[in-house]
Amino acid sequence: MAAPAAAAGTGAGALRVTVLSPEQTVFQGTADSVVAPAFNGKLGILRGHAPLMALLGEGELRVTTGGDERRFMVAGGFLQVADDEVTVLSERATPA
């Protein structure tokens, strides 16, 4: 099993992000923003976002920290936002 990629992060005031597939933790780190392919369109998440659960579609998940953007291809699953923490549970999640 490969080790999860970690973002440098901005520390306090950042979103905590975890991207999981059935096989592994694909990403765990912090971010300034997340854009996810929700089932009915793109969903943007910033710090302070209201609690939310969303059904994921298929497409590109973008995790941005400062000028660094990490991209992942996801297909199906769920996204949860709570207390500045974003958790993505996807049937397939791979670095793009």
Give the number of other CB atoms < 10 A from CB of residue 7.
19
Which three-class secondary structure state does DSSP give residue 54?
strand
Domain ranges of the chain: 15-95
User: In DSSP terms, which residues pair with 60 in a beta bridge?
Assistant: 73
Confidence category of residue 9, pLDDT binned at 50, 70, 90:
very low
For 36-77, how does the pLDDT look when each residue is reduced to its tens digit (9 = 90+)?
A: 999 999 999 999 999 999 999 999 999 999 989 999 999 999
The correct answer on CATH 2.160.10.10 for the domain covering 15-95 is no
Measured at the CA of 80, the angle between CA 77 and CA 12, to 5 degrees, comes to 135
